[in-house]
Amino acid sequence: MDEKLYRTVDYILNQAQDRDIDVILKAVKKRYDRKKAGGGLSPDPRGMARDMAAQIQEQVGFSRDQIRQTVRDLSADIIRKNAPELNDRQIEELLGAWVPDPDKAGPRFPPVPRDALTTMVDQFLRYSTGAMSATEQMRLEHEIPGWAERYWERFPRDLRQLVEVYLKGSLGEDEFRRELRRCLEEAPE
């Protein structure tokens, strides 16, 4: 057996954590899906780069939450030691101001009008599924550098969750379209 292959199998069987196994399984599934679609087993650099960027973003998000919780715990300890007269509610208020929860923070951007959001979702989905032409990708990148990430940031949280579930294949087309209409109805005109 090739030494690289042996080390890889050893890592998967003996060292990988559950989230690592999940990433490995998704990568293998994508590779075989490409083969079924006629793409063969040759690597797709663009797809690999897109997948790796998504995995890094997921891991960074997880690490950011861990760091935030650690800072919050340390801050709470400092407050309790230096201001023992404060009750739990007051400490929570201070922590909310000093270490805000990004999920509870107000929107970073003004809301996107419904018609623009509809177009953005369509473009984002076509790009994410590989259905967007290279010409359109280049045009969008020229007009809005980093457009896919910028679109994602502007999507409301419930729309991001819906798109994620759909792209993972956990939601059928009809149900996705129904939920998408609901999300867009809540968007401003």
- Dump pLDDT digits (tens) for 90-106: 888 888 877 777 666 55
Cα angle 28, 32, 35; round to 5: 145
Binned at pLDDT 50, 70 and 90, residue 163 comes out as very high
- Dump pLDDT digits (tens) for 28-74: 888 777 766 655 555 556 666 667 666 766 666 566 777 778 888 88
- Highest mean pLDDT, choosing among 28-32, 106-110, 153-157: 153-157
Q: What percent of the chain has pLDDT over 90?
A: 27
Q: Does the pLDDT value for residue 107 go beyond 80?
A: no
Distance CA 43, CA 47 (A): 8
Identify the pLDDT of residue 93: 83
Label each residue of 58-85 as H, E or C: HHHHHHHHHHHHHHHHHHHHHHHHHCCC
**Residue 134, SS3 per DSSP:** helix
Show me where the domains of the chain are located.
Answer: 1-42, 44-106, 107-189
Question: Of 16, 97, 15, 20, which is closest to residue 59 (Cα–Cα)?
Answer: 20
pTM across the whole model: 0.45
Cα angle 31, 36, 42; round to 5: 45
Distance CA 138, CA 132 (A): 10
Give the alpha-carbon dihedral of 185, 54, 131, 184, to 10 degrees: 0
